Structures are given as C-alpha cells and as structure tokens.
C-alpha cells in the first residue's frame, strides 16, 4: 500500500524559521533519517560509528528539503519511496563533501560539536567520505532512472572541481568576483540545483518545469553561500556552531573580502592583505580591525544585497507554480536564506 500524502500545512507567522519548515516536513525528514541509517549500515564498526555520528549531527538538511518541496509543489507525494531515495542520495553526497572539506580545511568544529576528523582522525574521515559517495551511487542506481544518474554524476564531478578551484584560490589576493562566483556555483549551488531537479524528475515534470526548479534551487544555493560568507563575520559563534573568522584564518577570499580589497581605503586594503598573507589563527584584535574595514566600505552590506538579489531571482523562477503549502515554503526559504543568523 503506498504511503499516504501528508495533509496540507501552511506556514504561519510562527513558522517562518528553519524549525517551522522542519515541522512541516516532519514525516519526510523522519523517513529520510530512517533511510540514511539503513543505507549507511555496514559490517565495518568504524564506518558504523562515523556514520551514526554524522547522521545524528542533524543540520538543516536543505538539499533533501528541496527534493521534498519541489516534488510536493508539483503534486507528488514526498513520502514516496522514490522521493525518499532521491533525498537520501543528495544528503549522502553533501555529507561526503563535508567530511572531505573538514579534512582539507583542518576544521575541528561544525554545528557546535567536534568534526568527524577531529573525533576519528583524518584518514578515517576521508575513507568514510568515499564510502558515502559509493553508497549514494548505489541508491541512485536503484532508482532505475538514467536521468538521475546523469544529473548526479555531473553534479558530483562539478562539486569536486569547485573544491579544487577553492583550494587553488586560497591566498590569491587578486581573486575577482567572477572567480568567487565560479567557485560557489560549483562547490555549493550545483547540489542545490540538482536537488530541485530531482523533485521535478520524481514528479515526471517536463523539461521546462525541471529547468525552473533547477534554477530556483541554484539561485537559492548562491544566496545561502553568500549569506554564509557574511555570517562568518557578522554572525554569533554560539548560534553558528563554529568560530567567527574561520574563512579569514584559512585565507579564503569570500565576497566581503573581495569587495573590501576593491573599495577600502589604502590603509584598510593593506591591513586585509597583511592578515590574509599568512593563514593563521586570527587574534580578536585583528578580527575587529578587519571588521571595521568591511563595515566602513560597505562590503558586508553589499554582499547581503547580492544575496538578496539572488534570492529574489530564485523566487521569480517559481512564480507560475500553482499555489500550495510547498510553494509557500519555497518562497519562505528565499527570505530565510538572507535573513537568518545561523
């Protein structure tokens, strides 16, 4: 007997948060968790331990959420086995990239607790990341849909290119806005884009609708990443679950820094270049000095405005969809992407 679709739930004033969205998709996210745990089961004890550690960490699950919402907005039951499998696949790919990212970045904190590499070691994290990738491909093959394989194999390849581009960009003081956008389009937005398309594929949508869902999700991913880069300076460490200034310490030229190097005073530019020249733990006084440069030249406000523009463009992509709770939540995500503090 096929699962029964959940009743329509509309976002109210108190639901304009990630927590509200998770309540809206409570059944779907519960089914996703069950599927992930079953998929990551292994006879190898260390794989089981790390898999359980990362699944229990939770997170916003934005990419699976996009699969669920896009499928639901197009009239498909988001609790169907196909949609659950597609949601699990994108979350497996995303989690694998996080495991590898944290090793490359030498991160020791994510979502307010120790990263897997800090807890289990770099070698184990890299190898379990590989296991997650291979499991993801097993799940997508199981869907029997060639379009899914085409989409996710291309996305996975592009994400890997984005990671290498970001590595090559570390410490490059001549990085342009175009260079930055190329990195985040590949590293972050590509999997968002794929998630939206997967929901459309599950719904049997035509090519035009699939493109609209892809473009909505891609632009949303860009908005989220730019807003994340602003939060690395303006956020609250207690809610972000990581240390402020991590990007600065790692020598990453994100949009706020790129704009500061374009617009800041000569003294401000010199200060930023000096801090970036040798990636290291940034002292609180240094961080405050860089913040003053970013604020004085409007780099943070301009970056947020760019994120807002991308979010508005994302919303425009789904304007012609029939009204539904899912569509309303997709529009809520556009606002949340820019206005959140986590």
Q: What's the pLDDT tens digit per position in 191-225?
A: 999 999 999 999 999 999 999 999 999 999 999 99
* Residue pLDDT, tens place only, 93-112: 999 998 888 888 777 777 66
> Is it the case that residue 137 has pLDDT exceeding 80?
yes
> Is it the case that residue 284 has pLDDT exceeding 60?
yes
Q: Report residue 342's pLDDT band, with 50, 70 and 90 as the boundaries.
A: low
Q: Which residues pair with 179 in a beta bridge?
A: none
Contact 98, 23 (CB under 8 A): no
Query: What is the Cα–Cα distance from 291 to 234, expressed in whole angstroms?
Result: 8
Specify the pLDDT at position 17. 61
303 vs 14 pLDDT, higher one: 303
Contact 313, 229 (CB under 8 A): no
Separation in Å, CA 130 to CA 69, 100, 136: 28, 9, 10
Specify the pLDDT at position 239. 54
Query: What is the Cα–Cα distance from 252 to 232, expressed in whole angstroms?
Result: 11
Least confident range from 76-80, 251-255, 277-281, 300-304: namely: 277-281
Q: Report residue 57's pLDDT band, with 50, 70 and 90 as the boundaries.
A: confident
296 vs 106 pLDDT, higher one: 296
> Is it the case that residue 180 has pLDDT exceeding 90?
yes
Per-residue pLDDT, averaged over 46-62, amounts to 85
Specify the pLDDT at position 243. 63
Per-residue pLDDT, averaged over 324-336, amounts to 94
Look over the chain and give the mean of its residue pLDDT values, rounded to a whole number.
88
Q: Report residue 113's pLDDT band, with 50, 70 and 90 as the boundaries.
A: confident
Query: What is the Cα–Cα distance from 206 to 203, expressed in whole angstroms?
Result: 9
**Phi/psi at 292 (5° precision):** -65, -35
Specify the pLDDT at position 151. 96
Specify the pLDDT at position 7. 38
Per-residue pLDDT, averaged over 219-239, amounts to 85
Per-residue pLDDT, averaged over 171-198, amounts to 94
Query: What is the Cα–Cα distance from 321 to 181, expressed in whole angstroms?
Result: 28
Specify the pLDDT at position 120. 83
Contact 9, 325 (CB under 8 A): yes
Top mean pLDDT of 11-20, 101-110, 222-231 is at: 222-231
Q: Which helix (H) or strand (E) holds 265?
A: none
Q: Which residues pair with 109 in a beta bridge?
A: 114
> What percent of the chain has a predicted confidence (pLDDT) above 70?
90
């Amino acid at each position: 007997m096929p699962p029964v679709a959940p009743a329509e739930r509309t976002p109210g004033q108190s639901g304009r948060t990630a927590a509200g969205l998770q309540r809206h998709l409570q059944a779907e996210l519960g089914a996703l968790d069950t599927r992930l745990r079953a998929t990551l089961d292994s006879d190898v004890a260390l794989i089981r331990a790390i898999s359980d550690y990362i699944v229990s960490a939770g997170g916003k699950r934005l990419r699976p959420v996009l699969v669920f919402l896009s499928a639901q907005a197009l009239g498909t039951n988001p609790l169907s086995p196909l949609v659950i499998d597609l949601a699990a696949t994108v979350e497996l790919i995303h989690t694998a990239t996080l495991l590898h990212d944290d090793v490359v970045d030498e991160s020791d904190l994510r979502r307010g607790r120790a990263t897997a590499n800090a807890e289990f070691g770099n070698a184990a994290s890299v190898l379990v990341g590989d296991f997650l990738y291979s499991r993801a491909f097993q799940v997508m093959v199981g869907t029997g849909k060639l379009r899914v394989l085409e989409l996710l194999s291309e996305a996975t390849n592009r994400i890997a290119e984005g990671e290498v581009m970001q590595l090559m960009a570390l410490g490059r003081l001549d990085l342009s806005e175009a260079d930055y956008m190329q990195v985040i389009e590949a590293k972050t937005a590509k999997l968002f884009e794929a998630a939206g398309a997967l929901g459309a594929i599950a719904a049997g949508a035509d090519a035009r609708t699939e493109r609209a869902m892809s473009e909505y999700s891609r632009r949303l991913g860009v908005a989220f990443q730019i807003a994340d880069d602003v939060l690395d300076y303006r956020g609250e460490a207690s809610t972000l679950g990581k240390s402020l200034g991590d990007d600065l310490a790692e020598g990453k030229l994100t949009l706020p820094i790129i704009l500061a190097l374009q617009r800041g005073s000569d003294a401000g530019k010199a200060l930023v270049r000096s801090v970036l020249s040798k990636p290291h733990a940034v002292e609180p006084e240094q961080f405050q000095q860089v913040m003053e440069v970013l604020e004085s030249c409007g780099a943070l406000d301009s970056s947020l405005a760019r994120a807002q523009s991308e979010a508005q463009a994302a919303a425009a992509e789904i304007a012609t969809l029939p009204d539904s709770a899912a569509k309303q939540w997709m529009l809520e995500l556009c606002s949340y992407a820019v206005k959140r503090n986590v």
